[in-house]
Amino acid sequence: MAIVGHDQNGYYAVRNYVVASALITYADKLYLERYSTSHEMEYSHEIKLKDEELGKMKYEGIYYVGGKLIMFTSHYDKKADRNIAYAEHLSESGEPEGDRIEIDRLFSDKIANKGSFQFVVSEDQSKILVIHQEMYKKDSREKFFYKMFDQNLKLLWEKKMELPFKDKYSSVGGYKIDVGGKVYAQCGVTNEKKEKGKANYTYYIIEYNPTEDKMEKYHVNLKGKFISDITYADDPKHNNIVCAGFYSNKSGAGMAGVFYMRINKDSKEITEKGIKDFGKEFLAQFIGEKKAAKGKEAYAFDMRHFILREDGGAILVAEQFYVQEVCRSSGSTGLTVQRCDLHYYYKDIICASINPDASIAWVTRVPKSQHSVNDGGFYLSYLISLKGNQIFFLFNDNPKNMKLLSTANAKKGKGVPVKVMANPKKSVAMLYTLDMTTGEIDSKPLFNAKTDKATILRPKLYQQINDKDVVIYGERGRNYKFGTMSLN
């Protein structure tokens, strides 16, 4: 299930149904659905993924670009050793509109390694970038192929780009397209020689300007500290690239504090920056007092959201997330059977507020602990939205945590132990409200999955459709429900 776009009268969702036959084989069916703002289904149209000539097509996604629905598929041509990407428009009723056209292709000499395509919609939703990476060759630099299309699938430009880093040691992602059509990406480069006291990674922001056919790189550097993770955003209003992230006092991937910086696009220089050490008391909330006293650092936090505010400040949000594989052996007849399970952990949220002058106003913890097994974290993680000076977090919580914020320490985001939410069927969808002025937290339950047996919140699936309304989604088995969360 995915919400793929909206207009003033409603929104579009893509749903995948898994159907079991009498022979216990399974077939996937894909549907495009249209809902009104009051969540009434206007239509449900099955998407055919079989071409008369090519056969079975791989579904790559449906995107809402310039007010138009565009579906992307791909097909592996065994004879030509090519993986080919296609695009076609869909009408407002979900039917194919016009011809399916080829938009990109990549060489793939092995069916087990077909390569893949990426699709990135611009911030103003007027353009879409198609990306593929050339297959890895030993000691070669990273090579990428870019094609930019408008909402009518007209090719605006294409570019083969070679980055100044070896493929083996670099990773590129986090693509963004600004309103002027420039393409940005963040690049992490692993240092070939790991030396004690030196950083394991070097980070850059890559900018490609198609008008000038020019690539620039911005070095994200924090003197005296080791950057362990970054995120970034374009600030065209002030001609800046803004970056934020975590740093370590060691050379590893730990977290000892948060930083923020502005890089001028013309000079490539850091013009303003802010830094804030977590301190032992804050770190103790995640790793315990003994480890914090020994100088240990936090770990396993993923950057989730980086939001620029109208006042020139920003909000940085990260979530502690990791997966553990647990294997056990059993057998009583001499035959040993091993079973392995994947355990998904979505834990605390760290939220930092940056002032307009680039200083760090505060850093706080939103207490959360979620765990599931072999389901990809189906009902885990959170939803986020901003309105005025408030940040809203919605997620499935253990009902025993409902009294958590009755203490003064909890309202200030200080270390309060929380119970693990490991059974979504008995969870409570809790709304946590964080005041951006003070950093204080409040909470209230929205609905209870145990009493409302029709649905369980899936917080990762949502869409903000205007300044105050967020479409939320929940399901339980074959039952599902959409709703609106209005931000007051």
- Domain positions in the chain: 1-115
The pLDDT value recorded for residue 223 is 85
The pLDDT value recorded for residue 23 is 44
Residue 19 has pLDDT above 60, yes or no: no
Average confidence (pLDDT) over 426-452 = 89
- Residue 376 DSSP class: S
Residue 405 has pLDDT above 80, yes or no: no
Report the alpha-carbon distance of residue 426 to residue 398 in Å, rounded.
8
Residue 17 has pLDDT above 80, yes or no: no
Tell me phi and psi for residue 169, to 5 degrees. Answer: -110, 0
CA 448 remoteness from chain centre? 27
State the average pLDDT for the chain.
88
At 340 the three-state DSSP class reads: strand
Strand partners, 185: 206
The pLDDT value recorded for residue 146 is 95
The pLDDT value recorded for residue 138 is 62
Average confidence (pLDDT) over 365-370 = 94
Residue 197 has pLDDT above 80, yes or no: no
The pLDDT value recorded for residue 479 is 85
The pLDDT value recorded for residue 261 is 96
The pLDDT value recorded for residue 402 is 82
Average confidence (pLDDT) over 109-124 = 81
pLDDT range class, residue 236, cuts 50, 70, 90: confident
Residue 307 has pLDDT above 50, yes or no: yes
Strand partners, 429: 396, 447
pLDDT digits (tens, 9 = 90+) for 314-337: 999 999 999 999 998 876 666 677
**Within 230-276, where are the H helices?**
none
Average confidence (pLDDT) over 153-167 = 86
The pLDDT value recorded for residue 25 is 42
The pLDDT value recorded for residue 26 is 45
- Residue 450 DSSP class: T
Average confidence (pLDDT) over 78-82 = 85
